[in-house]
Amino acid sequence: MHPFEDGNGRIHRFLIHNILFLRSQMTLQGESGAFYRYIDMTAQAEALYDFVKLTIEHELVEELDFLANYDKTRQAIQESVDMPDRLIDLFIRLCLQNNGRLSPKKRASHFGFLTDAELADLENTVQKGYARD
């Protein structure tokens, strides 16, 4: 139970510790100044190193692969069909969200101008661009 409604009890913790200190109820045994002066952050530094290493070796590699595939797929679509860049980006995004296929609803609302052959070719381009080796 918290005596004050400050969210997580910060005020009451301060007041309790302050009152104990003012009444000399908080005494430390031995010399502890060095302990508080130099905090050992070895575990935190090692954890940060592990996070950075994981990011560089795995997540960054995956992101760069995705971007390289995106650029190749975008270029292939530009060579196949004359379409504004924003629609190419939308087409790729919608196909990636739907396992390499454009849903009939999205085709009707955004890409009704494409023929069946063009649509099949573009979907195939996206699928090839993001095929897992």
pLDDT score of 91: 96
User: With contact defined as beta carbons under 8 Å apart, do 118 and 81 qualify?
Assistant: yes
Taking residues 114-126, report their average pLDDT. Answer: 95
Q: Which residue type occupies 125?
A: T
Read off the pLDDT of each residue in 53-79 and give the average, rounded to a whole number: 94
| C-alpha R_g of the chain | 30
Nearest-angstrom CA–CA distance, 26 and 17: 8
Q: Of all residues in the chain, what percent carry a pLDDT higher than 70?
A: 92
**Residue 132, pLDDT score:** 65
Reported confidence tier of residue 39, pLDDT bands at 50, 70, 90: confident
Q: Where are the domains of the chain?
A: 42-129
Quote the Cα angle for 67-71-74, to 5°. 130
Averaged pLDDT for residues 44-56: 96
